Structure 1
Amino acid sequence: MIILQCNSELMWFEKNSVDKAVACYTGARSVFCVSQGNLDLLRLQVGEPLPQGELVWNPYNVSSERIAPWPTENDLLRMACVARLDPAAKGQDLLLKVMARQEWRERPIEVNFFGEGPYDLALRRLASLLQIKNVRFRGHVNDINAIWNEHHILALPSRYEGLPLALVESMWCGRPAVVTDVAGNAELCVDGVTGFVASSASLSSFAEAMERAWAARTEWKRIGDAARARVETLVPEDPVGVFSDRLQACAAEHIGSVPLSKAAQDR
């Protein structure tokens, strides 16, 4: 059994490793991926159909029973970027460059970056270089619900992904999102319905999606409600339980008709 949490078009198997990778993935009884996009890409990367590939949901860190109350606005909207500080994957530099544009400097919006990572200082230096006044780095926060009690929308300009928990969690909390069309993002976030999807992880595409989000800012709560309704239909409330049941089914399929020993039967 293999679980693949992330994949990227930038990561391919070299000639000295591709045969081992193919043997590993084709020999696995099950290959679990966190998004259809990751599974489709993996099939291309190993040149195999991988019929044993299937999707799995990761556990998330917010309550599925509680919708976070809509934050007060007080003439200021708050956007959260919740991700490890790693611009090569999460694209925080794209969001900073959008916020450096004159129109965003003048708008009543605050962007807060939540997370830690090895590129913390580099991103802070970039924000300082761009002289952005409405951006804050808030570090790691254990209580994800607390983030969405204060913020109206998620921004996640990822360059590659699996299926980001930040998106799943923001939707459970009834918040819209601005994301890029990579891996599982657009499988969960529907452009113009539950959020805003940039066609690519480029500055021009993400800036355009941000503009569309701003133009619809009076509709953010309604869009967030639609996000909550969509995640309820797609994501199980107990991903761990669902996956545990699947593992037991895989084990049953494996042992098949092999008779149990008397000791196993007694247990």
Structure 2
Amino acid sequence: MRIIVADCSAEYSGRLNASLPPARRVLLIKADNSVLIFSELGSYKPLNWMAAPCTIREIDPADAGADDAGGSDEGADGEPPCMVLRVSADKSSDILEVTIRRIYSDETYDLGEDPGLVKDGVEDHLQRYLAEQIERIGEGAKLVRREYPTAIGPVDIMAVDADGTHVAIEIKRHGGIDGVEQLTRYCELLNRDPLLAPVRGIFAAQTITPQARVLAQDRGFECLLLDYDEMKGAESDELRLF
């Protein structure tokens, strides 16, 4: 993890265009080349970012200025840039270009391997109940396993439907856009495996925001509302070995 505190500006171009005027900000550059730009105040979310898979290059500020017709190499304070980071998405034409004019701190840390998120009790129970009651996703469905391992983390539930199609299920207590994005990453990765593809996705939660529902449906995912009390009441009283 590389953490840079600097005076910087940023331009995002591609499927959408956005810009950040010069200001002092924090840049997080992760090992997968993801770049996130944070401010001192406001939301916990970054102001702008480029997610992996992407390629990051440090380019000559003069070259960046030449690419920006009508642009200036100097900021509002007259200070020329000392570094330009160009981050290009691998699967689209999106580009995030960060122009850095003054660096206050530039540190790199090895965070080691992360054990992953430990789910709270309700979310963990929702996962277990749905695994035991897998036909809630459709008659004839069968469970493959919970916490199905992938290179980017475990999928909450992997199942197959009545037609034999693999189904990746992401479970949240309260489903938002971040959960849909997480399911998107899982499905994109799983669909690269010819032994699994095609893999379809189901976004399951106790509540799903309207924005998350629209995004999920746009990505081709099914939305499934989970009633915790009902699922808990349907839990089998039979003795189990595990």
TM range (shorter): under 0.3
**Bigger share in strand:** 2
TM-score (norm 2): 0.25
Report which structure shows greater RCO (CA 8 Å, sep ≥6): 1
Larger radius of gyration: 2
